[in-house]
């Protein structure tokens, strides 16, 4: 667990992760609403494709981004009502991508591939701060 981070700190962490995650990484982002998952995803993707705007896929479930190292996918499973709905997503294409970022992975059930990196975000006691847990810890990434 890191010290509580502000939005700027989350962005800095996301940029660092985006530069260090190896091709083919699957990243799970877990935590309650408003914990900073999309902020972190945005920073990770911006570090891999800085010329593109990154938006949340909440209504489309999946956004495809073109980056310098190939396609990256951002999946938000929040709106899935049942894990079986995840079967309709093209996991085969997404697994062949440079990067696969999945918010709310628990809602996708067995369809969601296992993570290379698991990130848990939560609200901290200080206003506008978030706690971040990485498994494996950041020092274990190139």
Is the omega angle on the peptide bond into residue 136 within 30 degrees of 0, that is, cis?
Answer: yes
* 44, pLDDT greater than 80: yes
- C-alpha 128/C-alpha 140 separation (Å) is 28
- C-alpha 42/C-alpha 109 separation (Å) is 24
* 16, pLDDT greater than 50: yes
Largest CA distance in the chain: 41
Query: What is the pLDDT at residue 59?
Result: 61
Q: Encode pLDDT of 74-116 as tens digits.
A: 999 998 999 899 999 999 899 999 999 999 999 999 999 999 9
CA 93 to chain centre: 17
pLDDT bin (cut points 50, 70, 90) of residue 10 is very high
Task: Give the residue from 115, 120, 89, 85 showing the smallest Cα distance to 101.
Answer: 115
* 27, pLDDT greater than 60: yes
Task: Give the residue from 89, 105, 92 showing the smallest Cα distance to 37.
Answer: 105
Q: Which domains does the chain have, with CATH numbers?
A: 11-130 (3.40.50.300)
Query: What is the pLDDT at residue 79?
Result: 87
């Amino acid at each position: 667990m890191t010290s509580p981070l502000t939005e700027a700190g989350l962005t800095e962490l996301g940029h660092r992760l985006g530069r260090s995650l190896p091709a083919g990484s699957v990243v799970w982002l877990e935590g309650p609403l408003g914990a900073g998952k999309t902020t972190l995803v945005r920073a990770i993707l911006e570090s891999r494709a800085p010329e593109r705007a990154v938006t949340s896929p909440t209504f489309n479930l999946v956004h495809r981004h073109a980056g310098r190292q190939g396609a990256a996918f951002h999946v938000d499973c929040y709106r899935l009502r049942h894990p079986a709905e995840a079967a309709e997503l093209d996991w085969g294409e997404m697994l062949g991508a440079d990067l696969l970022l999945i918010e709310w992975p628990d809602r996708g059930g067995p369809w969601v591939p296992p993570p290379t990196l698991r990130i848990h975000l939560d609200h901290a006691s200080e206003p506008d701060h978030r706690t971040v847990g990485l498994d494996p810890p950041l020092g274990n990434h190139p």
